[in-house]
Amino acid sequence: DAGITQSPRYKITETGRQVTLMCHQTWSHSYMFWYRQDLGHGLRLIYYSAAADITDKGEVPDGYVVSRSKTENFPLTLESATRSQTSVYFCASTGQGYGYTFGSGTRLTVV
């Protein structure tokens, strides 16, 4: 199916564990983004990527790692999860900078 998909939809993990959130898009969009959304903070940019093998930090990158070996995939890894990383995570993509398309989100709970 065409579009942008995130997995898993829901995830519960323990403090200190590594967890990877997946994002896959089928349009070959150049630009991909990871946001977290918390009550009272709107959308905050974690990392973004302009192309395969090109990534850069956003507003809140600490504690997160990204990679982009293929254009269509942009996984986000929490190396050692903390309770403060409990949030809803959204992936987005765009081909030309206009009109981001968002995934359905991953609700992550760190206990």
Partner 1 sequence: GENVEQHPSTLSVQEGDSAVIKCTYSDSASNYFPWYKQELGKGPQLIIDIRSNVGEKKDQRIAVTLNKTAKHFSLHITETQPEDSAVYFCAALFSNYQLIWGAGTKLIIKP
Considering only the stretches 16-24, 65-73, 75-83, 90-98, report the one whose residues sit in contact with partner 1 under the rule CB under 8 A.
90-98
| Cis peptide leading into residue 61 (ω within 30°) | no
Q: Rule CB under 8 A: is residue 27 a binding residue for partner 1?
A: no
Q: Rule CB under 8 A: is residue 103 a binding residue for partner 1?
A: yes
Give the residues across from 78 on adjacent strands.
19, 64
In the complex, least distance from residue 59 CB atom to partner 1, rounded to whole angstroms: 9
Selected from 11, 20, 45, 72, the binder of partner 1 by CB under 8 A is: 45
List residues near partner 1 by CB under 8 A.
31, 33, 41-43, 45, 48, 50, 56, 58, 90, 92, 94, 96-105
